[in-house]
Amino acid sequence: MIDTTAAPSTTPVAPVKRRIPAWANGILWTLASIVLLTVTADLTGLANITATATIQAGLQLAVPLLLAGLGGLWAERAGVVNIGLEGMMILGTWGSAWAGYQWGPWAAVAGGIVFGALGGLLHAVATVTFGVNHIVSGVAINLLGAGVAKYLSTLLFTSVSHNPRQSPKVPGFDTYSAQPLADWLGDLEKQQRYVVSDIAGILHGLLSGVSPLTMITILLVPVSYLLLWRTRFGLRLRSCGENPVAAESLGVNVYRQKYLAVIVSGGFAGLGGAALVLAPGQNGYLENQTNGRGYIGLAAMIFGNWRPGGLLGGAALFGYADGLQTLTDGKTVLGLFYGVALLIWVIALVQLIRRKWIVGLIAVLAGGALYLLYLSIDSLPSELTTYLPHIVTIVVLAMSAQRLRMPAADGLIYRRGQGS
Amino acid sequence: MRSLRGKLLPPVVAIVFSALLCSVALIISGSNPAKALAVMVVQVGRDTTLVDIVNSASVYYLVGIAVAIGFKMNLFNIGVEGQYRIGAALAAIVGGQLNMPPVIGQIVIILTAMVGGAAYAALPAILKVTRGVSEVITTIMLNAIAGGIIALLIKQGAFGVLNNNNISTKPIPSSNWIPGISFGSAGTVFGLVLLAILVGVGYWVLLNRTRFGFELQASGESPTAATAGGVDAKRMIVIAMLVSGAIAGLTALPEVLGRDHAYTLISPQGYGFTGIAVALLGRNNPGGIAFGALLWAFLDQSAVSLDVIQVPREIVTIMQGAIVLSVVVSYEVIRRLELAAEQRRVGLQLAAATTGSAS
Amino acid sequence: MTTATDLGNPAVVLTGITKRFPGVVANDDIRLTVRAGEVHALCGENGAGKSTLMKILYGMQQPDEGTIEVDGAEVRFRTPADAIKAGIGMVHQHFMLADNLTVQENVVLGAEALHGIGGRARARIQELAGQTGLRVDPGVLVEQLGVADRQRVEILKVLYRGARIIILDEPTAVLVPQEVDELFDTLRGMREQGFTFLFISHKLDEVRAIADSITVIRRGTTVGTVDPTSVTTRQLAEMMVGSELPSPETRESTVTDRAVLTVAGLHLSDDTGRAVLDEIDLAVHAGEIVGIAGVEGNGQTELVEAIMGIRKADGGSVLLVGADDAIVDLTKLSTLHRREAGIGYIPEDRHRHGLLLTQSLWFNRILGFQTRKPVVNGRWLDVEGARKDTRRIVEQFDVRTPGIEVPAAALSGGNQQKLIVGRELSGDPVLVIASHPTRGVDVGAQALIWEQIKQARAAGLAVLLVSADLDELIGLSDTIKVMLRGRLVADADPATVTPEELGSAMTGASTGGEEEA
């Protein structure tokens, strides 16, 4: 009655891969970046690549991106896509300037957080309670945030600053340096010694003239990790981003978790706004000052594969690129291409050793193309260097979108009782 | 959204809610909302305001339709902003550089704008279908990059000329302008308002009466069902993005061909986001988008007259933002209520017809 | 039919449970007594009201009438948390697990207050696993687990919360027989330790193998409780469906020797390069129904989608002989062209693949036919034609609806399915591919769909039928092929084969051919 016609094939067992722990990975990447920058600076003769000023500017510019990215991380780990970070950041800049010019820098920090969190609350009401599409709500909040900030600025700043688009001066934080190490590194950098001076420049940039807000921000990365991955609260929050139906069936109040996550997310974005207001040389609210940084922060988070460590890397990369292009010229930025070409060739070598011929070959060619570009033009047009982070984002997404892993229920609308 | 009530109620609720919100904001800041409202209404009859509203609305309508085409199939083409700017800049460059005979010149300029917009939409479309990259992020990035590309294109030495302390493209010769329709002292309506109307009608026909429109809506509603029904999802994504980009390219043309005759570094920006708002307000429906565009233009114009009575004009921006957010919320709530009501109604009708046999 | 056990005291007593939904009475005066330390099976057809009843017992829904007693005390559950407190746990049919979290995280989620989320929780999970034999590594991500392991995680979740009464909703639906045996061993062991199980199933043989008592419900109400040792499967089946067992059996053979569909050497690999379809050869003749049997996940979905062109096969050919006897090579064609060549497609998941839920019925009629009359005219839609033809389907296929303008989502599952079957049989197809055509529909719709398929077959249609319902397969098919791990491993003659034989062929138990690979 049953005639066997063919034998079933057997399934091969996937080999178990050993993984490097995340912290070691982070240290490796940091070291690799320092080496790459140093080598590039020396081989191209462009000392600015590792100059203290460049690194400091990069760190400065990375802070708001990092905060926006952390905001994105919190919201998206709970399953809410937050494209409204930009609007929340704008609200944060206004709130921060308003509180800051009256009561000082710490008030500016608090004001930024509160206003950003209000924006987050609005996003939560729309997406969680009313089930509005997350992108739509985010776009609306960006429009609204810009409008509210403009209105309030006209209303409350004009009489003091005599300019509806600008706040009165907000006192900034004092900055700190790790003395005497910083001075020693500074001296070392000035000696222009091969390799040593470059490394000293990078470290000097990271260890001197740091504001408390920068330190807090960097600290917030491990804090976010511990909260989200090592506590009961974080487990519940992440479960809402992975499978809210399951979470609810286990008694997790999904709406509450999402509300909290999105409000915290807004608070981070607002703090990012405060970081802009308090940045040296800025010291106040200025219309359009965020200039799309909320979006770049979101891109940094995606770049970091929805993980705090990766997001730190993304923000550092974008901040550095921004710092380099603000302080230097198209020629120095072009020098980076040389560095990237080197990096790609190293990756190619690794792939070839692993016998991944096709990937390796493509990497060799891509590195070659970049190198040729570096050789064939003198300087990048200044009009385009401003948009380096944007271009990098697109290139990175195009290359690695399939390897990125966002929370399984990210962006999906969840209704209470959906599982029953 | 089947019933008329379901279509009309949400925008009305949203407008009333936003007006109340703004009234509260005005009262707190010491202004009189009733007076502000009166000024907003009265201004429509004054000078060229009505014509200005229609002119702005034609621009908003075009960009709203561009956004709506994407939305109809759940594509978030946030990139209309960049696409329309690239389209307009290229069109102005072509119009200024080539000395073309009348009629042909206008046609070439319009086509250039469409091709430019579509080309700039092509990259996110290709990345989405080949690499699975979300169009939201790529189009946001491309919006920013568009500024750089335009700056590069119209700098002096490329296609830019210095004109009253402002860098712009070479002016388009008057033989290639599109004349307006004059209403004497009430102003001149852009000739391309007719193009906007044409695009609206075309959009309705495309959506409701053609196979392409069916496939577009099916893909938007359920990509999986559309695929099983033989709709090529990837092809639809690419086509929808390109069409959306092409329409977006038209956006600034009423201004470029009817008023400015050039594209400058300070030409208006931000229409793309207006388009998103207008499309949401009009629920991607050609009639609704027309209403949304007119409302938006009306609010924009009110800003000027509010200044006169010392009400900060930015209150209009708040009102616009509040309208968008509350309209999407109320559409969502009413959609849900209506579907539940429909299911109940069907259930009851069947229960009455066949007691016990159906489960 | 009386209660036939004298085990322990009643652990759960449901009295007069009634639950109404708009237009439907899901539960009507249900009575059920489950004794402590027994495996109590709840049997009933799809749509009989089993799931609603269990959701009520688990606090996910509230009854309109009736009382629930647990361990002798009347209780009222507002949320699942209340039920958990009372010692009731539920293992859902569709697993409620987050793939990207570890086993431990999934287990402790929501119950972190018990033992934290760290080492103590891990120790407790391992202790429970040791006690019950539900062994899983707490540290691995759930996405790396197979179906049986996932089910173990689900049961662990429930135990971790201290449940003594465990509801298992169709636990065997996704398991292969060996896994079912393992599960039953575990359940028996746990029963010895005093756990009580409520076992929901419509697989009667399994129910008889494991249950201490069986309660049957039909159309929302209890028919009776019986002792599994004193009834036959046939008697149980009759209790479930009422007096007349609907029979899917086809009478005389209408098979011709005209091969309509010829699949040769079809091959498909997944992302990791593993073959999910391997050397598939298959022919379906005019007037023939070829049934594909197999445990879910053995390539049936992929086979159907490869024939439809939804997935691109990476080897082999698919040929179709059209109505005019012309041979069409489908191998390189798109889904749309395959449909135009004369294939109708009833997908396995009607919500995801069959319908546009918020659109009207006539709009749904166009889907898949957007290039063919009478619903379109060239590049233009023929709205009137679509409406007219939808009315025809509604009438001919007895789609219960107040009109053709209502959204598809407003119809019941059975009526949605009738609409799909009606649509796919439109336009004179030469081949229909039917995936689980009667899954989750009511008995009336099932009978109608079977009848329509039989009529079409008699008129010369070729049908490829994929189903998990072995009775449906045996009853309808002219030939049955068994699919296992991406291959067609055996043929069976539906006239002589029994479900048991098919079952063992589906799991590779009877082929003895594994060594050859």
Least CB-CB distance to C370: which of B208, B211, B349?
Answer: B211
Which helix (H) or strand (E) segment holds residue A305: the answer is none
Partner-chain contact C219 B359, CB within 8 Å = yes
Residue C467 reports pLDDT greater than 80: yes
CA C101 to chain centre: 27
Least CB-CB distance to A420: which of C55, C278, C514?
Answer: C55
Partner-chain contact C381 B209, CB within 8 Å = yes
Q: Please list the rounded mean pLDDT of every run of 10 residues in chain A (420 residues).
A: 49 46 78 83 80 85 95 96 95 96 93 97 94 90 91 88 87 82 80 77 82 91 94 93 89 92 97 93 87 91 89 90 82 82 86 83 86 82 82 83 82 75
Between B31 and B124, the more confident residue is B124
Go through B274-294 and write b for each residue having 16 or more CB atoms within 10 A of its CB, e for each that does not: bbbbbbbbbbbbbebbbbbbb
d(CA C38, CA C6): 10
Through-space distance between the first and last CA atoms of chain A, rounded to whole angstroms: 43
The listed range with the strongest mean pLDDT (A90-104, A340-354, C81-95, C468-482) is A90-104
Q: Is B347 on the interface with C (CB under 8 A)?
A: yes
- Give the residue-averaged pLDDT of C352-366: 91
Query: What secondary structure does DSSP assign to B216-262, as a single string?
Result: HHHHHH-HHHHHHTT--HHHHHHHHHHHHHHHHHHTTHHHIIIIISS
H-only helix segments in A279-387: 293-303, 308-327, 330-353, 357-376, 382-385
Task: Give the 3-state secondary structure percentages of chain C, helix then strand then coil, rounded to 5.
Answer: 35, 25, 40
Least Cα distance to A143 among A91, A107, A96 occurs for A91
Structural domain including B115 reads 52-301
Q: Which two tokens stand for residue A230?
A: 């090592």
Residue B29 counted as domain residue: no
Residue C247 reports pLDDT greater than 60: no
Q: What is the pLDDT of residue C475?
A: 85
Q: Which domains does chain A have, with CATH numbers?
A: 31-175+210-329+379-403 (1.10.3470.10)
Q: What is the pLDDT of residue C508?
A: 67
Q: Which two tokens stand for residue B288?
A: 């609704």
Q: What is the pLDDT of residue A420?
A: 53
Q: What is the largest CA-CA distance in chain A?
A: 94
ipTM of the modeled complex: 0.87
Contact C299, C276 (CB under 8 A): yes
Please give the share of chain C, as a percent, with pLDDT higher than 90. Answer: 26
Partner-chain contact C345 B211, CB within 8 Å = no
Q: What is the pLDDT of residue C513?
A: 39
d(CA B41, CA B56): 17
Q: Is B321 on the interface with A (CB under 8 A)?
A: yes
Q: Which two tokens stand for residue B250?
A: 């038209």
> Residue C429 — left, alpha, or beta (φ > 0 → left; ψ -120 to 50 → alpha)?
beta
Partner-chain contact B346 C359, CB within 8 Å = no
- Taking contacts as CB-CB distances below 8 angstroms, the residues of chain A near B313 are 154
Q: What is the pLDDT of residue B2?
A: 55
Least Cα distance to C92 among C157, C39, C33 occurs for C157
Per DSSP bridges, beta strands C431-435 and C343-346 are parallel
Which residues are CB-neighbours of A207 under 8 A, at least 6 positions away? A177, A178, A181, A182, A185
Q: Is A394 on the interface with B (CB under 8 A)?
A: yes
- Taking contacts as CB-CB distances below 8 angstroms, the residues of chain C near B284 are none
Task: Give the chain B residue nearest A390 (alpha carbons).
Answer: B141
**Segment among B120-134, B236-250, B342-356 with least mean pLDDT:** B342-356
Residue B356 reports pLDDT greater than 60: no
Distances C300 to B339, C95, C336, C512 between C-alpha atoms, Å? 34, 21, 21, 21
- Give the residue-averaged pLDDT of C372-394: 90
Indicate the burial class of A409 (C-beta count within 10 angstroms; 0-12, 13-18, 19 or more).
Answer: buried
The CB density around residue B1, as the number of other CB atoms within 10 Å, is 17
Q: Is B205 on the interface with C (CB under 8 A)?
A: no
Q: Please tell me the CATH code under which domain C10-241 is placed.
A: 3.40.50.300
Q: Which two tokens stand for residue A283?
A: 């010291």
pLDDT digits (tens, 9 = 90+) for B257-275: 888 888 888 888 889 989 9
Number of domains in chain B: 1
Least Cα distance to C455 among C254, C245, C321 occurs for C254
- Taking contacts as CB-CB distances below 8 angstroms, the residues of chain A near B160 are none
d(CA A154, CA B93): 37
Written out in words, the top-level CATH class of the domain with range C246-342+429-510 is alpha beta
Q: What is the pLDDT of residue A14?
A: 41
Indicate the burial class of B182 (C-beta count within 10 angstroms; 0-12, 13-18, 19 or more).
Answer: exposed
Partner-chain contact A402 B336, CB within 8 Å = no
Least CB-CB distance to B346: which of C337, C406, C443?
Answer: C406
Which helix (H) or strand (E) segment holds residue A281: the answer is none
Which helix (H) or strand (E) segment holds residue C179: the answer is helix C177-192
Residue B296 reports pLDDT greater than 90: yes
pLDDT digits (tens, 9 = 90+) for B90-104: 999 999 888 888 888
| Residue B109 distance to chain C (closest CA, Å) | 29
Query: Tokens 């053709």 — which residue?
Result: C404
Contact C283, C262 (CB under 8 A): yes
Contact A257, A236 (CB under 8 A): yes
Q: Is B207 on the interface with C (CB under 8 A)?
A: no
**Which CATH number fits the domain that encloses residue B121?**
1.10.3470
DSSP B283: T
d(CA A94, CA A152): 8
Q: What is the pLDDT of residue C46?
A: 63
- Taking contacts as CB-CB distances below 8 angstroms, the residues of chain A near C279 are 6
Query: Tokens 């209408």 — which residue?
Result: C254
Peptide bond into B254 cis (omega under 30): no
Partner-chain contact A243 C96, CB within 8 Å = yes
- Taking contacts as CB-CB distances below 8 angstroms, the residues of chain A near B335 are none
CA angle B16, B18, B20 (to 5 degrees): 70
d(CA C411, CA B344): 10
Partner-chain contact B221 C356, CB within 8 Å = yes
d(CA B275, CA A335): 40
According to DSSP, the residues that pair with C481 across neighbouring strands are C292, C491
d(CA C77, CA B332): 31
Q: What is the pLDDT of residue C248?
A: 55
**Segment among A232-236, B140-144, C503-507 with least mean pLDDT:** C503-507
d(CA A313, CA A286): 28
Residue B245 reports pLDDT greater than 80: yes
d(CA C398, CA B353): 13
DSSP B176: G
pLDDT digits (tens, 9 = 90+) for C273-289: 778 888 899 999 999 99
| Residue C171 distance to chain A (closest CA, Å) | 17
Residue C491 reports pLDDT greater than 80: yes
Which helix (H) or strand (E) segment holds residue A67: the answer is helix A52-77
| Residue C78, CA atoms < 13 Å, CB-side half-sphere | 0
Residue B249 counted as domain residue: yes
By residue count, chain C amounts to 517
Partner-chain contact B214 C334, CB within 8 Å = no
Query: What secondary structure does DSSP assign to C185-227, as a single string?
Result: HHHHHHHHTT-EEEEEES-HHHHHHH-SEEEEEETTEEEEEE-
Rounding to the nearest 10 degrees, give the CA dihedral for residues B202, B208, B211, B213.
70
Q: What is the mean pLDDT of chain C?
A: 84
* Interface contacts B/C by beta carbons within 8 Å: 130
Q: Do C246-342+429-510 and C10-241 fall under one CATH topology?
A: yes
| Residue A292 distance to chain B (closest CA, Å) | 8
Q: Where in chain C are the domains?
A: 10-241, 246-342+429-510, 348-427
Q: Which two tokens stand for residue A403?
A: 């390897």
d(CA C403, CA A104): 68
- Taking contacts as CB-CB distances below 8 angstroms, the residues of chain A near C55 are 420
Q: Is A227 on the interface with C (CB under 8 A)?
A: no
- Taking contacts as CB-CB distances below 8 angstroms, the residues of chain B near A126 are 325, 328-329
Partner-chain contact C347 B359, CB within 8 Å = no
CA angle B305, B310, B312 (to 5 degrees): 80
Task: Give the chain A residue nearest C106 (alpha carbons).
Answer: A239
Least CB-CB distance to A6: which of C55, C60, C488?
Answer: C488
Q: Is B151 on the interface with A (CB under 8 A)?
A: yes
* Interface contacts A/B by beta carbons within 8 Å: 129
Which residues are CB-neighbours of C424 under 8 A, at least 6 positions away? C344, C345, C346, C368, C432
Q: Which two tokens stand for residue A284?
A: 């106040």
d(CA C136, CA C147): 12
Which residues are CB-neighbours of C371 under 8 A, at least 6 positions away? B211, B230, C336, C340
Q: What is the pLDDT of residue C283?
A: 92
Partner-chain contact A3 C61, CB within 8 Å = no
Which helix (H) or strand (E) segment holds residue C436: the answer is none
| Residue B330 distance to chain A (closest CA, Å) | 8
Q: What is the pLDDT of residue A404?
A: 79
Partner-chain contact B147 A155, CB within 8 Å = no
Partner-chain contact A394 B322, CB within 8 Å = no
Enumerate neighbours of A (3 or more CB pairs within 8 A).
B, C
Partner-chain contact B152 A146, CB within 8 Å = no
| H helix and E strand count, chain A | 17, 1
Which helix (H) or strand (E) segment holds residue C480: the answer is strand C479-484
Amino acid present at B321? G
pLDDT digits (tens, 9 = 90+) for B15-33: 888 888 888 888 887 888 8
Contact B272, B81 (CB under 8 A): yes
Q: Is A394 on the interface with C (CB under 8 A)?
A: no
